[in-house]
Amino acid sequence: MPRPMTITEKIFAAHAGLDEVKAGDLITAKVDVTLANDITGPVAIKEFRKIGVSKVFDKDRVMFVPDHFVPNKDIKSAEQVKMIREFAREQGLTNFFEVGRMGIEHALLPEKGLVTAGDLVIGADSHTCTYGALGAFSTGVGSTDLACAMASGETWFKVPSAIKVEFTGKLNKWVCAKDLILHLIGDIGVDGALYKTIEVGGNVIEEMDMDGRFTFCNMAIEAGAKNGIIVPDKITEEYLKNRSVRPPKFYTSDADAEYERVIRYDVSDIEPTVAFPHLPENTKPISQASGIKIDQSVIGSCTNGRLSDLKVTAEILKGRKVHPDVRLIVFPGTQKIYLDAIEKGYIQTIVEAGGAVSTPTCGPCLGGHAGILAAGERAISTTNRNFVGRMGHVDSEVYLASPAIAAASAVAGKISSPDEL
């Protein structure tokens, strides 16, 4: 009989053709999907050329999503996208997503059913860990490792040890998945789960919709984790129904699987949470953050650009105006989310309140374009990182928060809870 395993270990064993694996094992595993964007893709393509093979391992499973500097902000970014566009055509890739049809990669691939439960996914982007919300193993890798997998369909891993995190109880008003992951990172630190699995559960997660689960797993990397993962359940099955391009495989963790540690939180103790500059671990409850003046509020990204995020934004902005000293920038995660938000009236509400709505792009999140901060400016953002210079000038500041807090702050002109409006 195989040893008791976590869900992550079971996915690894299946993809490595082994009966069992354990933390610390070095394995070679087959990948279901490789992913790159307009920043990492060109590097991967150059390395792929050096390998000397003429074709990728599977034209349906090698995917490129230009989403960082698009619509192209300058000549250099246009050349980068041109390079991956031409490679996609040359290879006959099924999944190259042009501007107008694309979205932010980690919102787009689940929406299209291109990643599913039980998959092993690698992407040349650190937030590839998002897909753990589906019960997949997914992680970011370097462009060179990605190039080798594009050619061979496999790569190597050291099996990570696992931390189990359980959230139980009843959420306080305005507290959502973003607050839970910020609370965890604030507790254990940005290296608290270094090269480890964060497996998250508890009744709060079991009752959480897929949008929230994606948000949580998306930021596992901000605690240093190799991957974040949630055991799939009925909510996962319902999301994947009539969506997955491949049959999903539902793995679960054995009851006596080995964890390095178990962390438990009663969510009734958790307030809406804000990460202060310049690390995601520098967290404080909203009660200790209120009143800090802001110049910009950004709502969107692969962390919080989904329909439920736009819904709560619109609910808070309804009948209100963005503060005259604040720029509110909202960018939906995909074109479908954008269209759904238009149909439901969310976009009209945001625009009428004085917000600017952008086509799906990663631009503001990484200080690339469409919302760069000047020296001395301060932003509150639903994105995932607030390092020095992350969204613009090195003398700017970024505070991370949920869409509810970011929307309320845009109206107040300072960091605020909706209850303060």
Residue 190, token pair as written in the block: 């940005």
Contact 97, 35 (CB under 8 A): no
Q: How many whole angstroms separate alpha carbon 149 and alpha carbon 169?
A: 42
pLDDT in tens, the chain (421 residues): 779 999 999 999 999 999 999 999 999 999 999 999 999 999 999 999 999 999 999 999 999 999 999 999 999 999 999 999 999 999 999 999 999 998 999 999 999 999 999 999 999 999 999 999 999 999 999 999 999 999 999 999 999 999 999 999 999 999 999 999 999 999 999 999 999 999 999 999 999 999 999 999 999 999 999 999 999 999 999 999 999 999 999 999 999 999 999 999 999 999 999 999 999 999 999 999 999 999 999 999 999 999 999 999 999 999 999 999 999 999 999 999 999 999 999 999 999 999 999 999 999 899 999 999 999 999 999 999 999 999 999 999 999 999 999 999 999 999 999 999 9
Topology of domain 273-420, per CATH? Aconitase; domain 3 (3.30.499)
SS3 236: helix
Topology of domain 7-264, per CATH? Aconitase; domain 3 (3.30.499)
Looking at residue 102, what is its pLDDT?
87
- Residues 6 or more apart whose CB falls under 8 angstroms from that of 179 comprise 270, 271, 272, 273, 402
Q: What is the CA radius of gyration of the chain?
A: 21
SS3 365: coil
Which residue in 159, 160, 143, 139 sits closest to 151, CA to CA?
143
- Residues 6 or more apart whose CB falls under 8 angstroms from that of 33 comprise 61, 63, 109, 114, 115, 119, 121, 122, 123
Looking at residue 2, what is its pLDDT?
78
DSSP readout, 109-172?
HHHHT-S-TT-EEEESSGGGGGGGGGT-EEEE--HHHHHHHHHHSEEEEEPPEEEEEEEES-PP
The string over 27-62, giving b where at least 16 C-beta atoms fall within 10 Å of a residue's C-beta and e elsewhere, is bebebbbbbbbbbbbbbbbebbeeeeeeebbeeebb
Region(s) of the chain under CATH 3.30.499.10: 7-264, 273-420
Instruction: Quote the crossing angle between the two packed helices 40-51 and 75-91, to the nearest 10°.
Output: 40
